């Protein structure tokens, strides 16, 4: 388990703490967000489904995307087509991942449902992403 984001609460909440690890396990059970390295290509796919309005769920997705970038992938695909709920926090998370990947020279493809695309349009950032409809 690799997570580089704390929970922003009082006390010992760093990546090695028990509180942090318990919160991450609970969140991972609710959110399907695991990077998958495809054997045939150096591409990482992070699938995020379910309720993406929860802060902990977004932390898990962001940590998985960061981990995929740290593994040395040549392309990152974020598949959010299974999201049942999303809001501007999810758009901000995707923006942060895309910005980090661009600095590293890694292309990112975002697969999203119409709801996510609408939120990106509201935030006026739709044109900055390589979007694919599902």
Question: Hey, where are the domains in the chain?
Answer: 18-133
- Asked whether 91 and 62 are in contact (CB, 8 A), the reply is no
Burial class (CB in 10 A: 0-12, 13-18, 19+), 15: middle
Q: Which residues contact 23 (CB under 8 A, 6 or more apart)?
A: 7, 56
Summarised one tens digit per residue, pLDDT across range 103-115 is: 999 999 999 888 8
Q: How far apart are CA 130 and CA 67, in angstroms?
A: 20
Q: How far apart are CA 117 and CA 123, in angstroms?
A: 10
Summarised one tens digit per residue, pLDDT across range 30-75 is: 555 555 555 556 788 999 888 989 889 899 999 999 998 988 889 9
Select the CATH number that applies to the domain covering 18-133 from these four: 3.30.565.10, 3.10.20.740, 2.60.120.380, 3.30.750.24: 3.30.750.24
Is the pTM value of this prediction over 0.85?
A: no
């Amino acid at each position: 388990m690799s997570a580089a984001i704390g929970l922003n609460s009082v006390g010992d909440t760093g990546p090695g703490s028990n509180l942090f690890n318990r919160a991450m396990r609970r969140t991972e059970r609710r959110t399907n967000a695991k990077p998958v390295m495809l054997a045939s290509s150096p591409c990482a796919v992070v699938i995020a489904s379910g309720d993406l309005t929860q802060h902990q769920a977004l932390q898990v997705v962001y940590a998985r995307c960061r981990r995929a970038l740290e593994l040395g992938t040549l392309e990152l695909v974020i598949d959010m087509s299974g999201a049942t709920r999303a809001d501007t926090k999810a758009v901000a998370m995707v923006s942060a991942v895309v910005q980090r990947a661009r600095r590293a020279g890694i292309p990112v493809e975002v697969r999203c449902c119409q709801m996510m695309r609408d939120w990106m349009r509201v935030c006026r950032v739709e044109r900055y992403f390589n979007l694919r409809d599902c």
